Structure 1
Amino acid sequence: MLSKPLNGLGSRKQQVRRGEGVGFSGHRDMELFKRAENKDRRAWIPHVGKKFLNHIPKESYVREELRKKEMTVFAPTNEAVKQFDERLKREGKDPQKIWDQIYAYHLANYPITSEGMGAITIASSYKGSVPIWVNRRRNGNGDNKESIFLNNAKVVLQDIRGGVRTQNGELRTQVSGRKERGSLNAQVRGRKECGSLNIQVSGRKERGSLNAQVRGRKECGSLNIQVSGRKERGSLNAQVRGRKVCGYLNTQVSGRKEWGSLNAQVRGRKERGSLNGTGVKEEGAGFSGHTVLHIIDDVLEPVFIDSSRGDLYNPSTYKLMEQSGTYKVKLGKVNELVNKHVVKNPFNAEGRNTFFLPSDEGFPGAWNKIDSLVLQGFIVPKVALFTRNFQEGPFTTAIEDVKSDLRVRVEMKNGTDGDGNPVYYAVSTVVQGDNQHSEGTTVGIIKKANIPVRNGVVHIVDKPLMVVDENMEKYLQRDPQLSKFREFLVTSAPEVFRMVRDASKPATLLAPSNKAFDLVDKKRYEKIIQNMNTAKALGNLHLVQGEVTSKSAREGQTKEMTMLPASTMDQNDGEEKVYFHSSGAADNLSLSVDGGGVNSTIAIADINTSNGVIHIIDRILGIPYQSIYEKLSSDPMLKESFNLGEHGNRFNEKFQRMDHQFTYFVPSDEAWVTKEKQFPTAVKKLRSGRHGYHVSINAILERHMFGNGGFTLDELVAKSESQTKEEPLETMRGRVKVSKVGRAYYVEWEGENAEIIRGDIECTNGYIHVIDNVLMKKRDVTTSGGVHFSATLLSLPLSFVSLHIVRRLAQL
């Protein structure tokens, strides 16, 4: 497309000397399409927009207008046109017949630059057509630049200017509308008037080369005098007096000794604002006195019609529904409901709105579930959201204009289907319900996107928002971004799939997206699904007993347990748990879940079904992808231990290593709060970050870890039961005992007991076990760092601990 520079054209100055201008004027149609400057890479792209130009009939009046009129062209790239044509052929349509209808939708009858394209609409040359909707969006990732989108197309090259000639032969390209003089020179090079104009406004080193262009002309010498700044300037006017251009030159310099008079030259002319850097018509910013070309990366598609009736042009959303057969969209049923409930006005009102309308095919049989408020929940007012440039939501709906106690938010999400193709969603969440509308989320899959209408943009979805009419299994079947998860359940974990399908009691399904399957450790995953038992265990980890929503997770969290535990559907002993963490404002909660050592962000939460709730997650639970360090830094229960490890003498760094396995009993945040109540001064000293306490921090935390392997709780219990004086179970800083009482696990050191509240968190380089107490004594906190020394420390590689330092510590 536009990324590969054209080689072999030489430098910009060399191209200009060859007369390769970029104006529309010339011996062919639209020379501007022959050379377009990629300003980001400073390269020249050949034939940008050529395929688009070929679709404009040669006998069309538009060809002549492009050479003579000041206008704007939005030309799709060759690749965009190619893909559009191929799509039409697959649909059994004649591309040229479609282009005969839509090429004028890419033209505007007045010139407009990128500066003038704010959050506005642009009226195209398409007869009676809907406007072109303009959106600007920051690129993000530290890039403060903005991208411009026209409907769903991104502007990839902008403000390429060309010139047109008036009847008297004057070249209007002489005023560029650009502040950079160099670019002005490039636009008019190779023209008869080039030397005169460029020399007058240049004042730069290029003046000499410009003179070379007009050398051999009778006026060459006198022109040099004109712009030299010498006394002879005044006499120049006398030299050319009586020539056709006499008045023109006199006007330029009259009353002035300097070229600022050039501004006076064009005062009162259409192009004046361009030179001053302001604008053209009405001197508005962002307009230009010449034809302007913008290259876009997609084809602009207006609403297609089958009739020439005037009232069918430029439809509102209501008109689109009312005449859906004519416009080739299937919106008849929703139109019937709009008329039945007398809510025509919100769909007909002027403005910049987004509409998510259910298609006839996906309409539920339960008509009584859809009332006037549900219909207004399809509307997001005051913003036009297209699939490629939608802003981060959620957004309020039109419901709140009529009923304040029902609060509904809508946002757009994207995903991929099983083949990696993009899928777009409308996600509606009832944040605050009433007697007729329950709280929760419904998801509509966008089947036909980005239909521009007079009052915004329409997306046709496969089901009505706010209406619950399917169970969990039906939703899995409907949503293309969950195809890989459904396939896993059906083929590798059929027992779990039957529980999902036949669930009679409410449950919570944690459904990894297709992207999650793309990110998983493939070897580990294949090994799991080859064994029926491990595959079933993996499936069970994603099915939770009872309904857990963002709201219930937040209400269930306490100071002691910032993550809400929930039991999975494991029918053997029910010991496996997952943990939910909710955060954010009440009307915009975010949710994450932790299970089998994996923390996963919930991309779409609280999807209501008839037999439970579904959360779409971005990772497969049970197959770790984080190191111990990464897990510590991201887990909401372990912030205090991680921060203290950062204050210590590079204590946390070892957990980034992948050539070594560790086991770490990590005190929870609440454990540190409890210990601070017991030893307030000691813990405050550790948190202070003062250098004298670094050794104490390391010593205390090393007591909680094994540096010689990654062990599960059951393995540690077995080691404790078999330990002897010759082979004790020792951490890096002391002997411990791990025991199991019923279903609970405990670790003990010198009379200090801690219960494991989250165990067997597998990481890529070991295990984490979260405990509810800190294994420490008051004596541990000293500025000298006096601690009990364990010979186990010597078994670690010297890269972890300096042997010399260890011996010194032992002598203290």
Structure 2
Amino acid sequence: MKFFKFSLLAFLPALVLGQNLTSLLSNTPQLSSLNALLSNYPSVIKTFSNLTNVTILAPSNQALGNYTSNSSTALSVLSSTNQTISDLLTYHILQGKFYASNFSATPKFLPTYLNDSSLSNVTGGQVVEGIVLKNKTYIFSGLLANSSVTQANLNFTGGVVHIIDKVLTIPANISYSAAVTNLTSVAGALNAGNDTNTVDQLHNVTMFAPINSAFQAIGSAVRNLSTKALNNILDYHIVNGTIAYSTDLCNGTRLNALNNETLSIRVQNGSIFVNSAKIVIPDLLVANGVVHIVDNVLNPNNTLATPIPTASSQKVAFQSASAASSIPFTSGITVTPTAFGTGAGFGSMVTTCSPSRQASSKHAPATTSTHSTTSAKTTH
């Protein structure tokens, strides 16, 4: 279970200063369902109550009601991804105190208390993304799900609570996330290369995942690839050892891909490009890092490919390739149903490099490792 996305309604610290978390939950009618849920997990509420300097994204009664009314779907997702109620709850707790005024149009990627190694293969705790869009604060979680803050700045002795309108979604592994978000060519290519488990188990990953039509556009180039050649292409889309969110992708950043080739980041005309591929949906949070969805398949034999920023679409990086009549690698791959009520968001707004990160991110090399087998957001 993963939930919480919130909207920014107030900038004044609200309610009673000095009350503990148990009192706050008991005194807030909108959180009576959460209070009842926690009463079934005394060890969890004890842990929550002892925390200090935290922000809790608390699902409203309606949010929990929507989630539990579809309990069969929710429990199926929990079971299939080895999640527990405790994991879900800890994903709603941020490390640090963040009032509504701390959020802005520049995304913040904030670590949570979810550190279960089977679900969060990232250093420092799995994150959520907080951003203000159209004067409303949203929290993006796994599978591009968004929650909005409906009431902000409820103080308790250990920190602050924001009430959100949907339960957060715990980020899943790359292969599951690809299937859910219709990146079925990526999911199928990983299967075809016997690469799924290896990629899902990497630590601190950034992946640039091509949309289905990008694979279809180079159908002739991938039709009869050997496993080694396919893995070389896939590895060129993956950076291992460095999580680069959209705010880290500054103009001039160079990243070392898993196959030890270089990826070049360019920021032009308000868009982010990796080589000649444009990021069309950034910051899909996954269990072991982040995925940026791109409109072109990267070619490890054409590392100098550059974009044409003014073009409506980019030329394929495989120069002699022709399009296929169907989407490659999708045979046998089905789109996995997502948990109810998470408000998945897709869109075309990409937030570019944060100015404060320009100096530290530029030309920053990524850690690489040997591979064993060779904002854009719309809110709902």
TM-score normalised by L of structure 1: 0.26
> Which structure would you say has the larger RCO, counting Cα contacts within 8 Å and 6 or more residues apart?
2
Give the structure with higher Rg (CA): 1
**Structure with the higher fraction of residues in helix conformation:** 1
